[in-house]
């Protein structure tokens, strides 16, 4: 062990401040990615005086499920406002901020190697709890305060860039959805004179669904896309092709299942997690991917599908699930080809910007993980 590795317990102390005056109203939990989040517990009518208080720069953790989850849910409060956590959580703070700063310690807790170490020290309980003493016995490098601040600054530059990109992604997605609503819900797409169609007196006609612009049709989804099953991936080696499941990217493999624009639709579980892709990928067999009958159908069909609440479905199983029969026969409005082409040209540009920012964030997160992994090599 390097000389600058120190026992964590020498630098932290437990805090046990309860919400006895009931001033704190917000109850937070800790997710597996080590962020505070709103608790799902219903505390209406509950006496919260026994709940623990967390203040800025204090830490809270749940040591109960480390062996089961292979990770220690732990987070540091950055909020100036106090909030509550479960009485079962541990709350602690640093003893001397002139020796160890909270942001540096949180970086250490974020390392994959830390979680593996914590898992190693769990007990034999079914849930695999981590004793407080075992947590305190974990050792970490503690360089000078100047070095800690330098490392934290570098990390925060990357983190802030990721956050900025995420904000831009959200704005671009909101813009695309707003255009979809304007064109295909309000029917205010630009007419041949560039004016909003419906408000400018564009003719409407009755349909099986509702009133739609004259000349448009109602058809079934299979007329616009061909639904295909994803495939098993256990035989594939690791590579750089993203592997998609219902929760998003599951990993990376060395084979391509499909490399043209497509829409991914979950078969089970989170059915609303529908994705539009314009890059090579592989998808698991619990996902559908689609072959577009005409490429300019993609953006429109994607937004048509995400506007629906598929999670309320229970087709074929006790778990929310989707079938090809349901998808193929689902009614869909079929706008004119000229409107679809205009919409695709407009929104595809937004999609390309979104994809560029997402790729940037993937690279930034790789850099972030590299920085975290190098913490163990830091010397004074």
Tokens (6 digits) for 46? 């509950």
Claim to verify: residue 290 and residue 221 sit in the same structural domain:
yes
- CA dihedral 143→149→153→154, nearest 10 degrees, is -20
pLDDT tens digits, 162-210: 999 999 999 999 999 999 999 999 999 999 888 999 999 999 999 888 9
C-alpha distances in angstroms, 59 versus 30, 85, 87, 103, 148?
11, 11, 14, 11, 18
Claim to verify: residue 116 and residue 234 sit in the same structural domain:
no
Taking the C-alpha atoms of residue 195 and residue 182, their distance in angstroms, rounded to an integer, is 12
Claim to verify: residue 310 and residue 368 sit in the same structural domain:
no
* Secondary structure element (H or E) that encloses residue 177, with its range: helix 145-184
Domain containing 223 — which CATH number?
A: 3.90.220.20
pLDDT tens digits, 3-53: 678 999 999 999 999 999 998 889 999 988 899 999 877 888 888 999 999
Claim to verify: residue 73 and residue 183 sit in the same structural domain:
no
Taking the C-alpha atoms of residue 263 and residue 274, their distance in angstroms, rounded to an integer, is 7
Claim to verify: residue 16 and residue 131 sit in the same structural domain:
yes
The answer to whether residue 203 sits within a structural domain is no
Claim to verify: residue 134 and residue 53 sit in the same structural domain:
yes
The answer to whether residue 204 sits within a structural domain is no
The answer to whether residue 196 sits within a structural domain is no
Claim to verify: residue 44 and residue 17 sit in the same structural domain:
yes
Claim to verify: residue 230 and residue 285 sit in the same structural domain:
yes
The answer to whether residue 205 sits within a structural domain is no
pLDDT tens string for the chain (380 positions)? 466 789 999 999 999 999 999 988 899 999 888 999 998 778 888 889 999 999 999 999 998 877 777 888 999 999 999 999 999 999 999 999 999 999 999 999 999 888 888 888 776 554 567 889 989 999 999 999 999 999 999 999 999 999 999 999 999 999 999 999 999 999 999 998 889 999 999 999 998 889 999 999 999 999 999 999 999 888 989 988 989 887 788 889 999 999 999 999 888 766 678 889 888 999 988 889 999 998 888 899 999 988 886 655 555 455 557 788 888 888 999 999 999 999 999 998 998 899 899 889 989 999 998 998 888 777 65
Claim to verify: residue 254 and residue 319 sit in the same structural domain:
yes
- Segments forming the whole domain that contains residue 181: 149-191+337-380
Residue 248, Cβ density class (10 Å: 0-12 exposed, 13-18 middle, ≥19 buried): exposed
Cα angle for residues 124, 129, 131 (degrees, 5° grid) = 100
Number of domains the chain contains: 3
Per-residue confidence (pLDDT) for residue 325, from 0 to 100: 86
The answer to whether residue 303 sits within a structural domain is yes
Q: Which of 142, 159, 182 is the last residue of a domain?
A: 142
Claim to verify: residue 62 and residue 111 sit in the same structural domain:
yes
The answer to whether residue 200 sits within a structural domain is no
Cα angle for residues 336, 337, 338 (degrees, 5° grid) = 95
Taking the C-alpha atoms of residue 256 and residue 242, their distance in angstroms, rounded to an integer, is 9
Claim to verify: residue 97 and residue 176 sit in the same structural domain:
no
The answer to whether residue 353 sits within a structural domain is yes
The answer to whether residue 199 sits within a structural domain is no
Q: DSSP state, 318? A: S
C-alpha distances in angstroms, 212 versus 102, 207, 225, 328, 335?
58, 7, 21, 21, 9
Asked whether the beta carbons of 279 and 257 are under 8 A apart, the reply is no
């Amino acid at each position: 062990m390097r000389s600058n590795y120190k026992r964590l317990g020498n630098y932290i102390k437990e805090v046990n401040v309860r919400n006895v005056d009931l001033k704190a109203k917000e109850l937070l939990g800790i997710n597996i990615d080590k962020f505070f989040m709103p608790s799902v517990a219903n505390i209406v009518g509950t006496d919260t005086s026994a709940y623990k208080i967390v203040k800025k720069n204090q830490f809270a953790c749940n040591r109960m499920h480390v062996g089961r989850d292979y990770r220690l849910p732990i987070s540091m409060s950055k909020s100036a406002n106090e909030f509550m956590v479960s009485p079962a959580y541990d709350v602690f703070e640093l003893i001397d901020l002139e020796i160890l700063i909270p942001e540096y310690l949180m970086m250490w807790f974020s390392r994959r190697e830390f979680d593996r170490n914590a898992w190693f020290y769990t007990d034999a309980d079914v849930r695999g709890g981590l004793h407080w003493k075992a947590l305190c016995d974990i050792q970490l490098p503690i360089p000078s305060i100047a070095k800690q601040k330098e490392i934290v600054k570098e990390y925060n530059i990357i983190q802030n860039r990721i956050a900025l990109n995420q904000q831009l992604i959200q704005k671009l997605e909101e813009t695309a959805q707003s255009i979809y609503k304007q064109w295909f819900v309000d029917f205010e797409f630009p007419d041949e004179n560039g004016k909003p169609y419906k408000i400018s007196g564009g003719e409407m006609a009755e349909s099986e669904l509702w009133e739609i612009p004259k000349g448009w049709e109602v058809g079934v989804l299979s007329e616009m896309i061909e639904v295909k099953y994803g495939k098993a991936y256990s035989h594939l080696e690791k590579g750089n092709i993203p592997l998609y499941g219902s929760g998003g990217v599951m990993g990376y493999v060395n084979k391509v299942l499909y490399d043209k624009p497509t829409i991914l639709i979950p078969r089970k579980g989170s059915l609303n997690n529908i994705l539009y892709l314009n890059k090579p990928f592989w998808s698991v067999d619990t996902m559908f991917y689609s072959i577009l009958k005409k490429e300019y159908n993609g953006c429109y069909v994607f937004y048509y599908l995400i506007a629906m609440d598929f999670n309320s479905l229970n087709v074929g199983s006790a778990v929310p699930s989707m079938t090809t029969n349901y998808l193929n026969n689902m009614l869909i409005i079929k706008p004119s080809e000229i409107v679809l082409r205009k919409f695709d040209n407009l929104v595809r540009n937004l999609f390309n910007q979104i994809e560029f920012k997402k790729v940037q964030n993937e690279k930034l997160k790789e850099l972030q993980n590299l920085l975290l992994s190098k913490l163990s090599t830091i010397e004074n």
